[in-house]
Structure 1
Amino acid sequence: MKRSDIPYLDDLRAFETTARCGTVRGAADELSLTHAAISRRINRLADMIGAPLFERSGRGLRLTTAGDRLAEVCRRSFDDLSRTIVSIRETQATDTGAILLSCERSVAMRWLIPRLSEFQDAHPKIAVHLSVGGGPIDSKQDRATLALRRLDFAIDDGWSVVPLFEETIGPVMSPDMRSNFEQSDYIALGSNTRPNAWDDWLRQHPDAPRPRDRRMFDHHFLMVEAASSGLGVGLVPHIVALDDINRGRLVAPFSFDPDGSRYGVLHPSQIPLRESAALLLNWLRDMSGEI
């Protein structure tokens, strides 16, 4: 087989993640993609190979014989690839003193990136490389120096946790949308990453106006932008709406309620924090005081 005939890496990754998680939804959450996008990639891979990779088993999926063979090869290949990348990153970090900071996508786009220049201005010799990711971290494969996460998952023993702030959520809207909201004439904007958020919030606020319709977005940062543009009322974490509220682009008439989870910074427990990483960690802790 020619190298050009090898399937797309994105298709192989979607397949391997689904095989490992056991469900398309689990793979969609891990890869921050939609259920439909995962299914399309798996179907395209099966068509290219010429054999089904999964079969239905009750409410879940089961690998076919061909799928089991391919999943094992993918696991080994991705493990080798991850170890190689980790080794390169560690070498680079050691050589340059750089920090690799992993952060959840919406938090990175709506809160961290707009503030990161403040840290860089204060510490111009410290290079911070930012990657996006969410959920559990594999200490054997992910060698981020620091990882900013919503702590709603079991944490591997290889990581230490520094708590930052509690997660709070609430409805936000453009100022012009407020009267429509109060009259129950609004579209509720939700995120596919938390599909039950509106049901939970409305149950906790029985006197709140009810929406006339709902729309879902793949990520909170898309939903916040939609709310700022007047497309509806978004139910969002405070951290991703903070700047738009301060600028007057959004209002939050019901404020924000704790949802029982917290954010924190994780770092490898068996690797002493370098001075540069400790400075960034302290800065993140200070900045989180505004939330």
Structure 2
Amino acid sequence: MNRQIIPSLDDLRAFEAVARAGSVREAADSLALTHGAVSRRITNLANNLGFQLFERDGRGLKLTPAGQTLHLTVSRFISELGSTVENLRAASSEQSTLVLSCEPSVAMRWLIPRLADFQNMHPDIALHLSVGGGPVEFRRDRINLAIRRLDFALPSDWQVRRLFPEKVGPVMIPDLLPAFNRGAYIALGSKTRPVAWKQWLTATPSAPRPSEIRYHDHHFLAVEAAAAGLGVAIAPQVLVVDDVARGRLIAPAGFQADGSEYGLIWQGKQPLEGARQKLSSWIVKRCAVLKREST
């Protein structure tokens, strides 16, 4: 290919903008250039190519047949170039910056207390934490990896690495154990999982029944209310494993698997590499510890 016949990229960008807008003035506004600068670039491009690109159409411009053919190629080229640059930038930033999305309660009560370990192991990786539940908008929110309870359908272009089964049970301060045993306690639940108490009581028919059930907006609020002695919270084990280990809360009935599980998910068919692989490996190892603690 004779590279000398390839026009200036600035001239091609001006041509594409005018062809798209049908107006030199609107194209100039979109390119943050003056009307005269865009006109000169269009004229220069036509002179270099040796054929006319536009013709008058009332107060605007329209492409000539040759201009239409050129516009198809140029617009496709600019679009592909933009996508390539965006992908390269994402791949480059991914080497040192990661965004991990996690469900709020799990992030607050399990993940954050452990993140210093990851930071100490990989001080070169800037990890940003985002909270959210359910489906993930990977591209829109620039999320690299997400920890989710797998209770929703996963798109075909997502990959998942299963982490640990969900186990739930009632937790309370030690002083509330007598009231719990005689069924004179207030049950604390979460509005994000309003049937949790009903499911646990159905699966555990011999357990004492509460006098009433009160709901908080999130699990972490119910757990804190239980730690304050306000009642008995039905809680996922992952949220209270540290409190139980320290004796802040007790779980006299243990924890039962509810049939769901948590997973690490990401978008795309390619295996994890670089910083994403390092974060994934760390999460898997921490979850392996959690699974051992729950047996």
Return the TM-score normalized by structure 1. 0.67
CA displacement, residues 211-237 of structure 1 (integer Å, 9 cap, x when unaligned):
111110010111111111111000010
What's 2:161 paired with? 162
2:210 counterpart of 1:211: yes
Q: Which runs of 5+ in 1 are unaligned?
A: 1-86
Contact 1:102/1:130 (8 A) holds in 2: yes
What's 1:279 paired with? 278
Q: Give, in whole Å, the separation in 2 of the partners of 1:226 and 1:100.
A: 30
What's 1:123 paired with? 122
CA displacement, residues 171-191 of structure 1 (integer Å, 9 cap, x when unaligned):
000111111101111100000
What's 1:147 paired with? 146
- Higher alpha-carbon deviation: 244-253 or 89-98: 89-98
Q: Give, in whole Å, the separation in 2 of the partners of 1:225 and 1:90.
A: 44
Q: Give, in whole Å, the separation in 1 of the partners of 2:227 and 2:201.
A: 21
Residue 261 of structure 1 deviates from its aligned partner by 0.6
Q: Which runs of 5+ in 2 are unaligned?
A: 1-84, 291-295
Residue 129 of structure 1 deviates from its aligned partner by 0.4
Misfit runs of 4+, over 6 Å: 87-90
What's 1:94 paired with? 92
Equivalent positions of 1:1-291 (< 5 A) are 91=89, 94-95=92-93, 97-139=96-138, 141-270=140-269, 272-291=271-290
Q: Give, in whole Å, the separation in 2 of the partners of 1:140 and 1:157.
A: 15
2:101 maps to a residue whose letter is S
Q: Give, in whole Å, the separation in 2 of the partners of 1:276 and 1:131.
A: 17
Q: Give, in whole Å, the separation in 1 of the partners of 2:87 and 2:111.
A: 22
Residue 271 of structure 1 deviates from its aligned partner by 5.2
Return the TM-score normalized by structure 2. 0.66
From the superposition, tell whether residues 208 and 222 of structure 1 become closer, same or farther in structure 2 (CA, over 3 Å): same
CA displacement, residues 102-152 of structure 1 (integer Å, 9 cap, x when unaligned):
000000000000000001011111111000011012455343111000001
Q: Give, in whole Å, the separation in 1 of the partners of 2:250 and 2:211.
A: 20
1:97 maps to a residue whose letter is S
1:112 maps to a residue whose letter is L
From the superposition, tell whether residues 93 and 222 of structure 1 become closer, same or farther in structure 2 (CA, over 3 Å): farther
Contact 1:110/1:240 (8 A) holds in 2: yes
Residue 272 of structure 1 deviates from its aligned partner by 5.0
SS at match of 2:140: coil
Q: Give, in whole Å, the separation in 1 of the partners of 2:121 and 2:265.
A: 23
Contact 1:137/1:156 (8 A) holds in 2: no
CA RMSD after TM alignment: 2.0
From the superposition, tell whether residues 204 and 272 of structure 1 become closer, same or farther in structure 2 (CA, over 3 Å): closer
SS at match of 2:124: coil
- Higher alpha-carbon deviation: 270-279 or 179-188: 270-279
Identity %: 50
Q: Give, in whole Å, the separation in 1 of the partners of 2:118 and 2:214.
A: 37
Q: Give, in whole Å, the separation in 1 of the partners of 2:168 and 2:86.
A: 39
- Higher alpha-carbon deviation: 269-278 or 102-111: 269-278
From the superposition, tell whether residues 144 and 89 of structure 1 become closer, same or farther in structure 2 (CA, over 3 Å): farther
Max Rg structure: 2
Contact 1:188/1:235 (8 A) holds in 2: yes
SS at match of 2:168: strand
Q: Give, in whole Å, the separation in 1 of the partners of 2:87 and 2:130.
A: 12
